[in-house]
Structure 1
């Protein structure tokens, strides 16, 4: 069986934000976990919004130059499979920027594949001009243009071309098509038609508490009970203490966590679970260091918790090959 794609070192090289041993991941693993957990501009307990966004951009740059094909498949999946608009849009533009700087082709295709809704070419222009000014590299401009040609139609104009957008359809067309053509003419009149109304009329200690699921009951009801009934516990992340206190010969252990365990005096938080028992971690925040080794033997980490996520357990335990979801 192939190892799961989320891989980390086997010997800790640093610490979690709470002081436990921290296990660095492969750069692709770190990028994947951050991308599926992070909303662009999101402040978290241990990282500022700017810090997380900068780390995401740096990881995209590094991976894009090292493996442009993997990056292209990942960002396309992030938009169409994981349905994460901001992360894929920013990732596509930043990947293209890194590829352009390194003299590697493929930026145009990555940008185009990351834009899947008719308002996204305008969002891409807004991001780029806000971050880097109005000088747009040819590969980025052509990638946005490819997406606009594919996505713009009458229905899209009615649905997405609204005054709340920083770049309207007419702005995109002017920036990418009209201006490029007009600049090649001796004399030209450039007129926006889809957004003409806009131009003239629009305004500018192990602290644990066991929770009993209601068998056959409502998941939402149980979730409300968890949140409001005292099971949401603060005071740090004593994962090792919770595992040691509650592990009682279970066949497997599933941990949902940001992995920022506090110092607990053990090599990793799964030390209380025998090596022949499976331990699955679902990473919920995408921080750089993990709380245990992953990707080999009986210790595995996943990102992107959704309705079908737990199906991965059965796939691993029946010996199916594990790979990226794209």
Structure 2
């Protein structure tokens, strides 16, 4: 009997029959699902990160232009910070070509702490030899991103690579005289040589003035109009909390809210309620949260609105969060015909959260996206499955949040084939929202007749998949749902970038 020379079909981690993806498809799926440095149910953080780095290097060698477009899209459209930064570093390591490498590095650095993040990763992974294209790409980003407020927000002794280190390693030329003064001051801060703040840096002067006040005087600021003073000094809500050395009252939050960005307001709804912010102020915040233009500009993932909905103790935010979530799902298409939507509620989907800082699981994400797609579709059957399967009843005109909150449960194992056999009834397409870790002896896609599209929305990015000759997307962004009509029109590899 042959012991070694036999054909071995790939298996999922659950032992089900699987398919091996090509490099581009595997990289795309892992990239949009990958929270770098975080463990999943079936892979350690190191295993995932090493696989991701190797895939980026392989794709870069094979098709650098495609990989460059992927990384730019990943940061600027899919809003995946860590994966795009690691990807750009591995791109640069695999291909030391001046123009394209410089462009890729610059394209993924969109926040002032990210040049330091990039260098921290590079120094750990690849040592202190930094190629010139990498230095120039980081320098381009520094000139664009470094200002006084960025220095106050992101430069601290807690960071391994500080702004002064970035400047020392990359030597960017300042855009204007004030930025030259800022660079010099950042270098002085890094080396403990801070003297008088340069005259050009008015925000730092204003912050220095506030910090000089005795603690007992600081709360007096909020007896009048404190908003302008806080804004002038670049005081964020985090810095005010430390400055006051005590809890933030309703008066303090009321002064802070006009200076806060969209995400800061979204994540502090519980704090607003606990401090007793007035209904008038809350109504203003709610209107801003629900504004579709602000939702679009904020680029928040839909899961953040579900998280905020669960965290906020009062109901005065509920309608605004529901509207904001609906706006964030604007690209989910209204599919014609009959659609079967399967939502994976197996144990592995509950084990891993969408990120280390979130308490929302992949099961939450699956329920949210599956419900959104089903509610938008012309005629959809929504099913939750695990070891068994059950239909989720929907009513016309319902919103996503109440359905996700009230009608989904934990279903144990991952019997994808059983769910398909039970509920597929000559539908025009099938959408499966899952981590693909089925336990069957054949591919789930074999249950659905050839010619009927099967779209798998993979929320984990594992190496092996459960469909063959069909379509697989991944991650937490809703953007790829918009590809479904394109694929049905015949554009088989219509990458979203």
TM category (shorter chain) comes to: 0.7 to 0.9
**Equivalent residue runs for 1:67-216 within 5 Å:** 67-100=63-96, 106-177=100-171, 192-194=184-186, 196-197=188-189, 199-200=191-192, 206-216=387-397
Aligned match for 1:240, one of 401, 417, 422: 417
Q: In the alignment, which residue of structure 1 is the partner of 2:468? A: 293
- In structure 1, C-alpha distance between the alignment counterparts of 2:488 and 2:57, rounded to whole Å: 35
How far the C-alpha of 1:214 sits from its partner, in A, is 4.2
Change (3 A) 1:201 1:211: farther
- In structure 2, C-alpha distance between the alignment counterparts of 1:208 and 1:307, rounded to whole Å: 25
How far the C-alpha of 1:41 sits from its partner, in A, is 0.8
For residues 249-268 of structure 1, give each alpha carbon's deviation from its aligned partner in whole angstroms, at most 9, with x where no partner exists. 22221111111211x233x1
- Structure 1 length as normaliser, TM-score? 0.80
How far the C-alpha of 1:322 sits from its partner, in A, is 4.7
How far the C-alpha of 1:291 sits from its partner, in A, is 0.5
**Equivalent residue runs for 1:260-279 within 5 Å:** 260-262=437-439, 264-266=440-442, 268-279=443-454
- In structure 2, C-alpha distance between the alignment counterparts of 1:106 and 1:276, rounded to whole Å: 40
How far the C-alpha of 1:272 sits from its partner, in A, is 2.2
Change (3 A) 1:90 1:241: same
Tell whether 2:49 aligns with 1:53.
yes
For residues 6-29 of structure 1, give each alpha carbon's deviation from its aligned partner in whole angstroms, at most 9, with x where no partner exists. xxxxx9941111222211111010
Change (3 A) 1:165 1:226: farther
**Equivalent residue runs for 1:4-23 within 5 Å:** 13-23=9-19
Q: In the alignment, which residue of structure 1 is the partner of 2:60? A: 64
Tell whether 2:477 aligns with 1:306.
yes
Segment drifting more, 316-325 vs 72-81: 316-325
Helix, strand or coil at the partner of 1:15: coil
CA contact (8 A) 1:12 1:21 kept: no
- In structure 1, C-alpha distance between the alignment counterparts of 2:131 and 2:151, rounded to whole Å: 26
Q: In the alignment, which residue of structure 2 is the partner of 1:253? A: 430
Change (3 A) 1:47 1:246: same
Between 1 and 2, higher relative CO (CA 8 Å, sep ≥ 6) is seen in: 1
How far the C-alpha of 1:300 sits from its partner, in A, is 1.9
How far the C-alpha of 1:44 sits from its partner, in A, is 0.9
Q: In the alignment, which residue of structure 2 is the partner of 1:315? A: 486
- In structure 2, C-alpha distance between the alignment counterparts of 1:200 and 1:38, rounded to whole Å: 38
Helix, strand or coil at the partner of 2:38: coil
- In structure 1, C-alpha distance between the alignment counterparts of 2:485 and 2:8, rounded to whole Å: 28
- In structure 2, C-alpha distance between the alignment counterparts of 1:28 and 1:12, rounded to whole Å: 23
How far the C-alpha of 1:207 sits from its partner, in A, is 1.9
How many equivalent residue pairs? 290
**Which ranges in structure 1 are unaligned for 5 or more consecutive residues?**
1-10, 179-190
How far the C-alpha of 1:30 sits from its partner, in A, is 0.2
- In structure 2, C-alpha distance between the alignment counterparts of 1:30 and 1:22, rounded to whole Å: 13
Change (3 A) 1:226 1:37: farther
Change (3 A) 1:218 1:148: same
CA contact (8 A) 1:12 1:23 kept: no
Helix, strand or coil at the partner of 1:128: helix
Change (3 A) 1:306 1:175: closer
- In structure 1, C-alpha distance between the alignment counterparts of 2:191 and 2:447, rounded to whole Å: 66
CA contact (8 A) 1:92 1:110 kept: yes
- In structure 1, C-alpha distance between the alignment counterparts of 2:424 and 2:129, rounded to whole Å: 58
- In structure 2, C-alpha distance between the alignment counterparts of 1:89 and 1:208, rounded to whole Å: 40
Change (3 A) 1:175 1:313: closer
* CA-atom RMSD in angstroms: 2.7
How far the C-alpha of 1:110 sits from its partner, in A, is 1.9
- In structure 2, C-alpha distance between the alignment counterparts of 1:64 and 1:238, rounded to whole Å: 37
How far the C-alpha of 1:244 sits from its partner, in A, is 0.8
Segment drifting more, 253-262 vs 87-96: 253-262
Helix, strand or coil at the partner of 1:302: strand
- In structure 2, C-alpha distance between the alignment counterparts of 1:33 and 1:90, rounded to whole Å: 15
CA contact (8 A) 1:121 1:172 kept: yes
More helix by share: 2
Q: In the alignment, which residue of structure 1 is the partner of 2:398? A: 217
Larger radius of gyration: 2
